[in-house]
Structure 1
Amino acid sequence: MSAGKRTPRRTPGIRDVAAAAGVSVTTVSHVLNDTPHTRTADETKIRVKEAAARLGYQPNRLARGLRTQASGMVGLVTEEIATTPHAGRIILGAQEEASRHNLTLAIINSQLNHAPEVGSREVQAFLDRQVDGLIYATVYHDVVVPPEELLSVPAVLIGARDIGGKIPSVMPDERGGAASVVEHLVAAGHRRIAFAATAIDVPATRGRLLGFRDGMLAAGLDPDEFVVEAEPEAAGGYAATHALLGAGRSSAARPTAVFCYNDRMAMGAYRAIAELGLAVPTDVSVVGFDNQDPIPTSLFPALTTVALPHYELGAAAVEAIIRLKTEGGADLPEASEPQLLSCPIVERGSVAAPVRGTAA
């Protein structure tokens, strides 16, 4: 050997791990691959994993894929969610949950599809790569028609339901989130609660309006008295709030709280309230929806709003893939009934009790 040259360091293999842990190669394979329906003592599992970590052993995914016709990969088709606010949290949640199960997340960003049929080209691209499971995330539909190819692997939808009831899905409980806003405002003493709504035909519109009505009816309040529709942007929130609070309404007749369809509308609501000589939350409480960074903390006072569980949606979808793959999905809810994830209220400074004499 000539001077200055080093002998290449040998990469530790599965036999090295087995020898270090004092078990068979088969046992190491079962432990590190989380093989279902195998009986291995917890103490043995710990010993194998510690040996693998100490040696720096990394499974050969290519060889494993050739043996099992699998890739150790979960595919995510995004349907343009990568360009929508907070969608990166869905990807992060899916990626981190996949990593916990020694899987790799691969992403294809598809074009927004205004028809209910899920695109088959992106699905087939992942199937050609022998993915272990496939997640399809939509932004426009609450019911979709998946291609038949999607049924050939464990698959989960995010944000939509399979019209055929064969593929499970995870969705934000926007109806429950909106109902909780009304409950929150009622608990603060409000009885005249307005909803700055929108007419765009997306699942969020229907869910949030239904939730608002649920909350109002549960509190014994008229759900139709203070509802105004406008575009789901700051200009729409401005126009809707002017319509709700202006037009010569006395302090005893106007709403004491405005629940906005989203945070962008809440921005416009703040401006309209200021122009009318009123203050948030002293005269009018305001609540948004989406927790869309950086809007809530950029307003003064900071906006109380509802957070969509983006991270949790991604993680829950991968968890469902794992259960479908290892257990056949026996403990999953019916595919026709989506798994709803809660949308929590993020309390900040835009809600207060109504001024005495205006709450009745």
Structure 2
Amino acid sequence: MARSARTEVTMWQVADRAGVSQATVSLVLNNVGGSRVTDATRDRVMDAVQELGYRTNAFAKSLRSGESGMIGFISDEVASSPFAGQLLKGAQMLAWETGNVILSVDTFNDPELEAAAIDMMLSYRVKGVVYASMYHRVLDVPAGLESIPSVVVNAQDRVGKVASVFPDEELGGYVATRQLIDAGHTRIAMINIQPVISDLPAGIGRMAGYRRALAEAGIAENPALVRYGTGIVEDGLAITRELLSGADRPTAIFCGNDRTAWGSYRALESMGLRVPEDCSIVGFDNHEMLAPYLDPGLTTIELPYEQMARTAVELLLAGDERAATAYPIECRLIPRGSVANAKVHV
């Protein structure tokens, strides 16, 4: 036999159970300030709510207050990307902690879908919109977001009208290189993840951090140890073979991402060499499906996806989305077994 549909409990029933008026129940549930409801009456109402299983009508409440309790999350492919899924997680967690929910849409870089998503967010009266990118880039914020509080995440607004929350790539590159310097290495190569002419902030910042760490340590940059790939495993493999085939080969390599580092591991293995005994390796990303499972585990820099999203939601809820334009978030070092002291190298 099919189960009967659950009968919705009404505010009138709560009032009857608590022995108060419907207006009093409304005052309690909406936490109206300045009302003369006593603590004892409030307790009776809340006991009745629990006993009857009453749920407020969030839609009706949003019509009255003009607020939905929702925060929009519009992204290109973040929500469907395992690599950057922590962005959405960070937004969801803080939203939940503050009594809000996330309304998320992936647009897959389709302008028409993006425009429709923005219209939907506006129709649902979201408190604000997190506009997220799958990779760190400079972008143009859609005109449709001008009428609603918005924060850009994992990217930077080209004109700086709204706050941008993004990884501190330069600090990450600095910390990665510093880890190798502190282990005694002076011949440190870098394999970047984009061509020298690229304007993407990730490679530019990581290279700047590498150079700053060398300069601070008094180590002259060797142009022969600076190479440019495209962030794929095959580039790490080929470039590392070239670097280690030279007469003055590096004792350590800072790879611009973890996939490049995986290629470096493969290159060493193909040449009969070992990480970190023959060459120390540091990556960037802390790719959860890769970095911990290399042998040895890869020392790397973690992109702060969750913290970036939490910061964006905090800015929206505090009304600070236009108070400043740039919020670089620190990238944390994750030490594992791929770095050894330079003195152990042959």
Common topology (TM > 0.5):
yes
Q: Deviations over 1:130-182 (max 9, x none)?
A: 22211110235633222333122221110222233221121111211110011
Number of the residue aligned with 1:132: 127
Number of the residue aligned with 1:195: 190
The letter for the 2-side match of 1:343 is C
- Distance in 2, matches of 1:207 and 1:333, equals 24
Structure 1 position 29 matched with structure 2 position 30: yes
Structure 1 position 277 matched with structure 2 position 276: no
- Distance in 2, matches of 1:53 and 1:192, equals 69
Number of the residue aligned with 1:34: none
More moved, 342-351 vs 56-65: 56-65
Alpha-carbon distance change, 134 to 168 in structure 1, aligned in 2, over 3 angstroms: same
The letter for the 2-side match of 1:220 is G
Number of the residue aligned with 2:329: 341
- Aligned identity (percent) is 33
SS at the partner of 2:343? coil
Equivalent residue runs for 1:109-258 within 5 Å? 109-112=106-109, 119-139=114-134, 142-200=137-195, 201=198, 202-225=200-223, 226-247=225-246, 249=247, 253-258=248-253
Task: Give the C-alpha shift of residue 355 in structure 1.
Answer: 3.0
SS at the partner of 1:320? helix
Where structure 2 has 5 or more consecutive residues not aligned to the other structure, the ranges are none
More moved, 146-155 vs 345-354: 146-155
What is the number of residues matched between the two proteins? Answer: 331
* TM-score calculated relative to the size of structure 1: 0.80
Where structure 1 has 5 or more consecutive residues not aligned to the other structure, the ranges are 32-37
* TM-score calculated relative to the size of structure 2: 0.83
Q: Is the 8 A contact 2:278 2:345 kept in 1?
A: no
The letter for the 2-side match of 1:212 is Y
Q: Is the 8 A contact 1:78 1:110 kept in 2?
A: yes
Q: Is the 8 A contact 2:262 2:294 kept in 1?
A: yes
Q: Deviations over 1:311-357 (max 9, x none)?
A: 22222221221111xxxx2xx684322x1211111111100101358
Which structure features the higher share of helix residues?
2
Number of the residue aligned with 2:89: 92
- Distance in 1, matches of 2:310 and 2:106, equals 18
- Distance in 2, matches of 1:97 and 1:295, equals 27
The letter for the 1-side match of 2:202 is A
Q: Is the 8 A contact 2:165 2:329 kept in 1?
A: yes
Q: Is the 8 A contact 2:80 2:106 kept in 1?
A: no
Q: Deviations over 1:187-216 (max 9, x none)?
A: 111111110113253321112111111211
Alpha-carbon distance change, 356 to 304 in structure 1, aligned in 2, over 3 angstroms: closer
In the alignment, which of 335, 341, 345 is matched to residue 353 of structure 1?
Answer: 341
Alpha-carbon distance change, 86 to 57 in structure 1, aligned in 2, over 3 angstroms: farther
Q: Is the 8 A contact 1:135 1:317 kept in 2?
A: yes
More moved, 176-185 vs 83-92: 83-92
SS at the partner of 1:98? helix
Number of the residue aligned with 2:74: 77
Alpha-carbon distance change, 122 to 179 in structure 1, aligned in 2, over 3 angstroms: same
Alpha-carbon distance change, 67 to 195 in structure 1, aligned in 2, over 3 angstroms: same
The letter for the 1-side match of 2:259 is R
The letter for the 2-side match of 1:231 is T
Alpha-carbon distance change, 101 to 254 in structure 1, aligned in 2, over 3 angstroms: same
- Distance in 2, matches of 1:91 and 1:169, equals 16
- Distance in 2, matches of 1:24 and 1:61, equals 15
CA RMSD of aligned residues (A): 3.5
The letter for the 1-side match of 2:63 is L
The letter for the 1-side match of 2:108 is Q
Task: Give the C-alpha shift of residue 287 in structure 1.
Answer: 0.8
SS at the partner of 2:260? helix
Q: Is the 8 A contact 1:14 1:28 kept in 2?
A: no
Alpha-carbon distance change, 175 to 295 in structure 1, aligned in 2, over 3 angstroms: same
